[in-house]
Amino acid sequence: MFCYQCEQTDRTNGQPGCASAKGNCGKDATTADLQDLLVHALKGIGQYAALARGLGESDREADRFILFGLFTTLTNVNFDAARFTAFLREAATTRNRVKARCDELAQARGTTIQPLSDAAAWQPGASLPELLAQASTVGIQEGLKKLGEDVIGLRALVLYGLKGVAAYAHHARVLGYESEEVYAGVETTLDFLARHPTDVNALLSHALELGQLNLKVMELLDAANTGRFGIPQPTSVRMTPVAGKAILVSGHDLGDLHALLEATKGTGVQVYTHGEMLPAHGYPTLKAYEHLAGNYGGAWQEQHSDFAKFPGPILMTSNCIIEPLPLYRQRIFTTGPVGWPGVRHLADHDFTTLIQAAKALPGFRETASDESITVGFGHDAVLGVAGKVVDAVKAGKIRHFFLIGGCDGAAPGRNYYTEFAQQAPDDTVVMTLGCNKYRFNRHQFGDIEGIPRLLDLGQCNDSYSAIRIATALATAFGCGVNDLPLSLVISWFEQKAAAVLLTLLALGIRNIRLGPTLPAFLTPNALDILVKQFGIQPLGDARTDLAMALAPRAA
């Protein structure tokens, strides 16, 4: 195996990357290799799907399978090698169907299909060893040997951005929101990658095009979440348990949470959110369920201790799962793209066994004293008070805005974000999103003229809110986003964050502070380009970086 797609990749060897029997996330070599092969197979489907679209037809099942397939290969989503073997068979069947239709369409038009790439011609090996032998020819290391780190690193940037795009598009699609333009963009990118691009400029410009595509996807996801569950409203969320039977839901999928709230209605079982599910409490349709009792625990990397202590079953709806401890292995369930070998997987929103488990487990014996925080500051809520915010800036009451957010992780350097947020002066406003917020969201920030100093915009899935707010402020002040008194301090961990970063760069946003470490797949040459073109800055010391962000800018 060789994998360097996430921030926690092994950096203890000369060439950064997880390359032993198991990655730092717990992904075993077989699963890692099958994931590489699945990406290869999806490139082939993407090529035929793009071709079919050019011939006037799209194949919605293939489009959806591509999103789902890419999502399963994200960090901390699916660790179940047996399921990847099944996905590979499904990939071959899907590709054959789209290819056959392309042949028919081409024949009807009297045109000839030019040979595509090796990915389009791939035939699945008959056994696991054969599949693994195939995987060894399509993995990253093979490319590194042939083409070197710069080209392979930039291909990785495009692929990892695409994985993030696919994950967000899948979140929208399960809520019933799809876009032909998005499917076309995803498949064009797969086609691009399948053709083994080597031109550094073409790779960089495709990465930025992907950032633009991701903006459309984030907009679609915003429409999906608000269309299905209403516009988020500032809402106080209980952070401590109440007595009674309980289920914990983690991940990002609001549709799964909604289905579970319906299924548990009237059962006496309380539902708690974990990690990235916290912003669900701000949506009118979801918070109307009285048994949506509160939030429990912290960000994903706390799950070993949070899940071990939780006195009921747990449902993982998307990233980020880590190896379940024996202490709770019998009471954790997966759904959607998520998988762990031996862990029960629930399909089609059938939560019968989950609810039975909740009833059989003790639940919380006592109600703890109430502690709460406020969530639900999506773009509508914030822009609803935009006039007040603009006035406060003009009156010198708000000096600066920070967006401190993104993915969290376990690395010690991540305390930077806590220090940065907590040391931000009283005349500054901190906006946050993603699970990084758990590093400071219990801190008392207070308010400025009734505007809360901490505004929780939502999940990483809600990055669109940050972009909407920044562009609206720029319009209100008659300047560009880069001229606003706004600093972005972004924490990245995996491929969803790669997609959001590409969107910010595609929008021309400069001087982003990115950490805790820079992506290992980007070589010094690639980083040099990003630093020169976009002013991306690695993290320094929180106090110094904060002072630099607040220093008057040169005219």
Tokens of 241: 């348990």
Scanning 24-32, 185-193, 252-260, 539-547 for contacts with ligand SF4 by CB under 6 A, the matching segment is: 24-32
Residue whose C-beta lies closest to ligand SF4? 23
Q: Smallest distance from the beta carbon of 531 to ligand SF4, in angstroms?
A: 23
Residue entry with tokens 């070998």: 341
From the centroid of its chain, how far is CA 146?
Answer: 31
Percent helix, strand, coil in the chain (nearest 5)? 55, 15, 35
Scanning 47-55, 94-102, 470-478, 493-501 for contacts with ligand SF3 by CB under 6 A, the matching segment is: 493-501
Scanning 17-25, 128-136, 324-332, 416-424 for contacts with ligand SF4 by CB under 6 A, the matching segment is: 17-25
Q: Binding string, 71-90, against ligand SF4, x = CB under 6 A?
A: ----x---------------
Q: Distance between CA atoms of 422 and 72, rounded to whole angstroms?
A: 36
Q: Distance between CA atoms of 163 and 53, rounded to whole angstroms?
A: 21
Scanning 21-29, 146-154, 203-211, 539-547 for contacts with ligand SF4 by CB under 6 A, the matching segment is: 21-29
Q: Judged by CB under 6 A, does residue 256 bind ligand SF3?
A: no
Beta-carbon contacts of residue 287 (< 8 Å; ≥ 6 apart): 235, 281
Q: Judged by CB under 6 A, does residue 493 bind ligand SF3?
A: yes
Among 140, 237, 320, 454, binds ligand SF3 (CB under 6 A): 320
Q: Smallest distance from the beta carbon of 538 to ligand SF3, in angstroms?
A: 19
Which residue lies nearer to ligand SF3 by CB, 48 or 71? 71
Which residue lies nearer to ligand SF4 by CB, 211 or 519? 519
The distance between the two most distant Cα atoms of the chain, rounded to a whole number of Å, is 74
From the centroid of its chain, how far is CA 437?
Answer: 15
Among 36, 222, 276, 306, binds ligand SF3 (CB under 6 A): 276
Q: Distance between CA atoms of 202 and 424, rounded to whole angstroms?
A: 40
Q: How many CB atoms lie within 10 A of CB 450?
A: 8
Q: Distance between CA atoms of 480 and 101, rounded to whole angstroms?
A: 48
Among 260, 407, 421, 481, binds ligand SF3 (CB under 6 A): 407
Q: Smallest distance from the beta carbon of 59 to ligand SF3, in angstroms?
A: 29
What are the C-alpha distances in Å from 194 to residues 51, 159, 267, 495, 523?
A: 13, 11, 50, 19, 22
Q: Distance between CA atoms of 15 and 39, rounded to whole angstroms?
A: 22
Q: Smallest distance from the beta carbon of 231 to ligand SF3, in angstroms?
A: 21
Q: Judged by CB under 6 A, does residue 241 bind ligand SF4?
A: no
Q: Smallest distance from the beta carbon of 434 to ligand SF3, in angstroms?
A: 4
Is residue 460 part of an annotated ligand binding site? yes
Q: Judged by CB under 6 A, does residue 23 bind ligand SF4?
A: yes
Q: Smallest distance from the beta carbon of 301 to ligand SF3, in angstroms?
A: 8
Among 494, 504, 526, 545, binds ligand SF3 (CB under 6 A): 494
Which residue lies nearer to ligand SF4 by CB, 124 or 406? 406
For residue 320, is the peptide bond before it cis, meaning its omega torsion is within 30 degrees of 0? Answer: yes
DSSP 231-287: ----EEEE-S--SB-EEEEESS-HHHHHHHHHHHTTTT-EEEE-GGGGGGGGSHHHH
Q: Is 169 exposed, middle or buried (0-12, 13-18, 19+ CB in 10 A)?
A: buried
Contacted by 194, from ligand SF4, ligand SF3, none: CB < 5 to 8 Å by type: none
Q: How far apart are the first and last CA of the chain?
A: 51
Among 78, 94, 459, 537, binds ligand SF3 (CB under 6 A): 459
Q: Distance between CA atoms of 554 and 230, rounded to whole angstroms?
A: 43
Scanning 25-33, 44-52, 416-424, 494-502 for contacts with ligand SF3 by CB under 6 A, the matching segment is: 494-502
Q: Judged by CB under 6 A, does residue 4 bind ligand SF4?
A: yes
Is residue 6 part of an annotated ligand binding site? yes
Contacted by 5, from ligand SF4, ligand SF3, none: CB < 5 to 8 Å by type: ligand SF4
Contacted by 27, from ligand SF3, ligand SF4, none: CB < 5 to 8 Å by type: ligand SF4
Scanning 176-184, 410-418, 488-496, 542-550 for contacts with ligand SF3 by CB under 6 A, the matching segment is: 488-496
Q: Judged by CB under 6 A, does residue 456 bind ligand SF3?
A: no
Q: Judged by CB under 6 A, does residue 9 bind ligand SF4?
A: yes
Q: How many CB atoms lie within 10 A of CB 165?
A: 31
Beta-carbon contacts of residue 54 (< 8 Å; ≥ 6 apart): none
Q: Smallest distance from the beta carbon of 73 to ligand SF4, in angstroms?
A: 9
Is residue 3 part of an annotated ligand binding site? yes
Scanning 16-24, 150-158, 161-169, 455-463 for contacts with ligand SF4 by CB under 6 A, the matching segment is: 16-24
What are the C-alpha distances in Å from 534 to residues 158, 176, 219, 232, 526?
A: 17, 36, 23, 32, 12
- Map residue 169 onto helix, strand or coil: helix
> Crossing angle, helix 495-506 and helix 524-534, to 10 degrees?
40
**Beta strands in 265-399, from DSSP E residues, in sequence order:** 270-273, 292-295, 314-316, 332-335, 344-346, 372-375
Q: Distance between CA atoms of 343 and 170, rounded to whole angstroms?
A: 23
Residue entry with tokens 């080209």: 151
Among 6, 77, 257, 382, binds ligand SF4 (CB under 6 A): 6
Is residue 25 part of an annotated ligand binding site? yes
Q: Judged by CB under 6 A, does residue 24 bind ligand SF4?
A: yes
Is residue 435 part of an annotated ligand binding site? yes
Residue whose C-beta lies closest to ligand SF3? 407
Query: H or E stretch including 387?
Result: helix 386-394
Q: How many CB atoms lie within 10 A of CB 353?
A: 12
- Summarize as ranges the residues that interact with ligand SF3 (CB under 6 A): 252, 276, 300, 319-320, 407-408, 434-435, 459-460, 493-494, 496-497
Binding residues for hybrid [4Fe-2O-2S] cluster: 252, 276, 320, 407, 435, 460, 494, 496
- Summarize as ranges the residues that interact with ligand SF4 (CB under 6 A): 3-6, 8-9, 18, 23-25, 27, 32, 75
Binding residues for [4Fe-4S] cluster: 3, 6, 18, 25
